[in-house]
């Protein structure tokens, strides 16, 4: 039932992001560039979409992560009264389970939002269907979801000790920092999570970017454990 509660709390926000994503990508598909049927031109155009996704989705995800965890301030610090958090905390549920359920639900919701990207490409770029298989698109979606986990966990972590506006600001800064760090020349491009969601995604390489996915999952695990530590030691 914690999943149900989480869904009730986040459904409108998820719906909003879904509508935004559909509208945004639909607008792009209606441009004259999208009508170019030459494979190189199409691929170049489509290559820009994952790049856009790589830029925008981390930001959206960090915001989603915040909403997933902190709605009704269950686990979040807040000035004054804690609202219904005392009711939640009085349930016979460990703080690990509370956090894991919220984070798990948020990741599933994020994966749902991310599924729009491959669906969009499949729907609006019919010319690419001869060059891309369904499994390429599926691999692309899996890659997006796994690479997004690092950013989602960043949002989860920040939401455990920061209030709304600060969480959003630091989330954006965190994503920009990731971007800057992973673009450094001394780091191999194979670890760049942003590239893995864009030009190095399975759409173009037809293979999983294992290193980036591993880095992302590792980072997500570390951030989740840090969030758990904060939540378990917090007093309410």
Distance separating alpha carbons of residues 88 and 175, to the nearest angstrom: 31
Which H or E run includes 68? Answer: helix 39-70
Of 82-90, 103-111, 139-147, 190-198, the window that binds other proteins (rule: CB under 8 A) is: 82-90
Which of 35, 38, 44, 93 lies at the binding interface for other proteins (CB under 8 A)?
Answer: 93
Tell me whether residue 4 or residue 186 sits nearer to other proteins (CB atom): 4
* In contact, 195 and 212? CB cutoff 8 Å: yes
Tell me whether residue 84 or residue 207 sits nearer to other proteins (CB atom): 84
Distance separating alpha carbons of residues 203 and 133, to the nearest angstrom: 9
Question: 6 phi and psi, to 5 degrees?
Answer: -60, -40
Of 75-83, 122-130, 184-192, 216-224, the window that binds other proteins (rule: CB under 8 A) is: 75-83
Of 26-34, 40-48, 84-92, 182-190, the window that binds other proteins (rule: CB under 8 A) is: 84-92
Q: What three-state secondary structure class fits 211?
A: helix
* In contact, 69 and 234? CB cutoff 8 Å: no
Q: Is 15 among the residues that bind other proteins (CB under 8 A)?
A: no
Q: Is 16 among the residues that bind other proteins (CB under 8 A)?
A: no
Distance separating alpha carbons of residues 36 and 43, to the nearest angstrom: 10
Which of 32, 40, 92, 185 lies at the binding interface for other proteins (CB under 8 A)?
Answer: 92
* Distances from the Cα of 51 to the Cα of 44, 96, 172, 179, 234, angstroms: 11, 35, 17, 12, 38
Q: Which two tokens stand for residue 147?
A: 């690479």
Q: Is 79 among the residues that bind other proteins (CB under 8 A)?
A: no
Which of 43, 55, 82, 122 lies at the binding interface for other proteins (CB under 8 A)?
Answer: 82
Of 21-29, 44-52, 77-85, 223-231, the window that binds other proteins (rule: CB under 8 A) is: 77-85
Tell me whether residue 2 or residue 226 sits nearer to other proteins (CB atom): 2
Residues of span 43-72 touching other proteins by CB under 8 A: 72
Query: Angle formed by the axes of helices 39-70 and 116-124, to 10°?
Result: 150
Note the residues at the interface with other proteins (CB under 8 A).
1, 4-5, 8-9, 72, 81-84, 86-87, 89-95, 232, 235-236
């Amino acid at each position: 039932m914690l999943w149900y509660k989480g869904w009730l709390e986040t459904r409108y926000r998820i719906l909003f992001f879904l509508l935004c994503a559909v509208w945004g990508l639909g607008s792009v598909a209606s441009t004259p560039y999208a009508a170019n049927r030459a494979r190189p031109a199409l691929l170049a155009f489509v290559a820009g979409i994952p790049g856009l996704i790589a830029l925008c989705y981390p930001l959206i995800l960090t915001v989603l992560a915040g909403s997933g965890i902190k709605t009704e301030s269950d686990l979040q610090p807040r000035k004054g009264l804690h609202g219904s958090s005392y009711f939640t905390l009085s349930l016979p549920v460990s703080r690990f389970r509370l956090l894991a359920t919220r984070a798990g639900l948020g990741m599933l919701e994020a994966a749902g939002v991310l599924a729009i990207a491959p669906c969009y490409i499949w729907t609006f770029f019919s010319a690419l269907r001869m060059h891309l298989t369904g499994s390429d698109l599926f691999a692309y979606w899996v890659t997006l979801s796994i690479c997004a986990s690092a950013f989602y966990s960043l949002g989860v972590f920040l939401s455990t000790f920061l209030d709304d506006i600060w969480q959003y600001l630091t989330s954006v800064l965190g994503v920009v920092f990731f971007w800057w760090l992973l673009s450094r020349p001394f780091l191999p491009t194979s670890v760049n999570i942003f590239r893995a969601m864009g030009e190095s995604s399975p759409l173009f390489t037809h293979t999983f970017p294992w290193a980036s996915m591993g880095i992302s999952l590792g980072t997500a695990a570390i951030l989740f454990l840090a969030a758990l530590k904060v939540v378990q030691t917090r007093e309410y």
